[in-house]
Amino acid sequence: MLNKRVFLQAALAIATASAFSTQAQDVIKVGVTAGPHAQIMEHVKQVAEKDGLKIQIIEFSDYVQPNAALSSGDLQVNSYQHTPYLDAQVKDRGYKIVKLANTVNFPIGLYSKKVKQLSELKQGAKFGIPNDPTNGGRVLLLLQEQGLIKLKPNAGLKATPLDVVENPKKLRFVELDAAQLPRSLDDLDASAINTNFAISAGLNPKKDAIALERADGPYVNILAVREADIKQPWAAKLVKAYQSESTRSFVEKQFQGSVLLGF
C-alpha cells in the first residue's frame, strides 16, 4: 500500500512538473519558404526563446502547402505570403486563416541574362511569370506599369495572360512555379522572380533587377494563423519577437535594402 501511495505521489509530481513546463515554455510550428523568410525566422526564434516561446521552423518549397498545413493544424503559424494572396486562398479554398501581423516586403523584380533593359526585348521574347494566384497578376500589372503590355480594364491582381489586350512586342508568357523561375532564367529572355527566391538564387534585387516593383505597393508580407488562434498568448509573443528592434536591425544589416520592413 505504501509503495502504491509513493508511486501515485511520484506520478502526480511528474505530471504537475510536466504541465508547469508546458505552460512556461510554449512550442509552436512556423511554416516558411526557403530563403529570407527562413533566415529572418531563425533570428526571430532566438528572440522569442528569451520570452519563453520555442519555435520549430518548417521550410516549404512552394506557395500552396504552407496554408494547407496551417489549415489542417500541422502548423500554428506561417510566414511567407502577402494579404492579397491569402485573401485569394481563403476565397478559393475556404480556409479559416487570418492575418496576425505585418512582417517584411519583397518588391518583385524583373531579371534577364540576355538584355540590360526591358526596351531591348525582341519580338516574341519568352517572359517567365509565376503561375500562382495573385503573383502572376502582380507581375502583369508591373509589366503594364513598365509600358510593355496593356490589360483589360479592372483586370487587377487576378489578371492572367488572357487579360492582355495590347502586347506590342508579342511577348510569350511562360507560366511556372515561382520557385522554378530562377532556374529557368537561362531558357527565357526575361523573367519576374519573387525576391525571396531571387536572393536564394544569388540574385541581388537592387543590383541585378532590370526593373523593380514600387516599395509602397500592397504586398507587405504577413504572419498568418487560424482564426481560432489569433488571441493565443503565443501569438502575441511571436509578434513581439518579429517586430522587435533586434529583428529590425537583423533585416536591415542582412539584406541591405533588398528586403524592406513592413512594420
Q: What is the pLDDT of residues 36-72, one digit of tens each?
A: 999 999 999 999 999 999 999 999 999 999 999 999 9
pLDDT attached to residue 206: 87
**How far apart are the C-alpha atoms of 25 and 53, rounded to whole Å?**
6
pLDDT attached to residue 75: 98
The percent of residues above 90 in pLDDT, for the chain, comes to: 79
**How far apart are the C-alpha atoms of 143 and 136, rounded to whole Å?**
11
Residue 32: in which H helix or E strand, if any?
strand 26-33
pLDDT attached to residue 15: 42
Side chain identity at 121, as an amino acid letter?
Answer: L
Banded model confidence at residue 11, pLDDT cuts 50, 70, 90: very low
Architecture of domain 109-212: 3-Layer(aba) Sandwich (3.40)
pLDDT attached to residue 6: 41
Cα separations in angstroms, 210 against 71, 114, 120: 37, 11, 11
Mean pLDDT score of the chain = 90
Cβ(71)–Cβ(226) under 8 Å? yes
- Domain locations along the chain: 2-107+218-261, 109-212
Is residue 199 pLDDT above 80, yes or no?
yes
CATH of domain 2-107+218-261: 3.40.190.10
130-170 pLDDT, tens digit each:
998 789 999 999 999 999 999 999 998 889 999 999 999 99
Is residue 237 pLDDT above 90, yes or no?
yes
Q: What is the DSSP letter of 87?
A: H
Is residue 7 pLDDT above 80, yes or no?
no
Comparing 77-86, 212-221, 226-235, which segment has the lowest mean pLDDT?
A: 212-221
Cα separations in angstroms, 246 against 103, 251, 260: 14, 9, 15
Side chain identity at 177, as an amino acid letter?
Answer: D
pLDDT attached to residue 158: 87
Q: 52: how many CB neighbours lie within 10 A of its CB?
A: 13
Is residue 3 pLDDT above 90, yes or no?
no
